[in-house]
Amino acid sequence: MHILVVEDEQKVASFIQRGLEGEGFTVDVANDGESGVELGSKNNYDLILMDIMLPKMDGLEAVKALRANDVTSPVLCLTAKDTVEDIVAGLDVGSDDYLTKPFAFAELLARVRSLVRRGTQERGAEITYADLRLDPVAHKVWRGDSEIDLTAKEYALLEFFMRNPETTLTRTMIAEHVWDYTFDSFTNIIDVYVNYLRKKVDRDHAKKLIHTVRGIGYVLKED
């Protein structure tokens, strides 16, 4: 799952990013409203956390701009303002939920999971390809009747493959979606993780599903 955090307070942004990454999410951070709109419009995020008081463009204007750009990602607004009028204003421009500062990380995580679950359910909770089955709500994967034990990053990588089956995915595409937009796609870490994943998914199976496209990247397909 890929989340965008739009927050100008460095300590708050770092706190949220570390916490969410510890829960297995991939997190990008923007420090002003304009950058948030740019990233949110360019990438397909599963959730956007939007502070209201932002430089260059405030959070409400940013949400309005994202919706005008046909961005449908759920938006959770973060703000110190907690009046009914403030909450209504946030919802009216297209946000999906509202969390007032200060907040406990456990509460933030519960809101995040709820909104992400809502989004995955709208897309269909389970994803299947061949005899692979992935539950994006429970973060579980099976091949046939056997559950596969994956790390958070292996899971994110496989989900990206399964949402784009029979499509050649370049290392840059994988880096931007599974890691973040600043990741150096020229390192061999992607190849290392694909090999980890391939061993878990294809080992002991005659039919291999994860294939290398020489000089380009990888593809999930049946032989």
Give residue-wise pLDDT tens across range 70-115.
Answer: 888 888 888 877 666 766 676 777 777 888 888 888 888 888 887 8
- The structural domains of the chain, with segments of one domain joined by +, span 2-122, 127-220
Q: How far apart are CA 109 and CA 13, in angstroms?
A: 14
Mean of per-residue pLDDT scores for the chain: 85
For the segment(s) 127-220, the CATH number from 3.40.50.1370, 1.10.3720.10, 1.10.1060.10, 1.10.10.10 is 1.10.10.10
C-beta neighbour count of 5 within 10 angstroms: 26
Q: pLDDT tens digits, residue range 12-38?
A: 999 999 999 988 888 999 999 999 999
Q: How far apart are CA 60 and CA 209, in angstroms?
A: 44
For tokens 């005008």, the residue is 68
- The answer to whether the beta carbons of residues 213 and 202 sit under 8 Å apart is no
CATH code of the region 2-122: 3.40.50.2300
Label residue 187 by pLDDT band (50, 70, 90). Answer: low
Q: How far apart are CA 41 and CA 148, in angstroms?
A: 34
**Average pLDDT of 147-160?**
88
% pLDDT > 90, the chain: 43
Label residue 125 by pLDDT band (50, 70, 90). Answer: low
**Average pLDDT of 172-197?**
75
% pLDDT > 70, the chain: 87
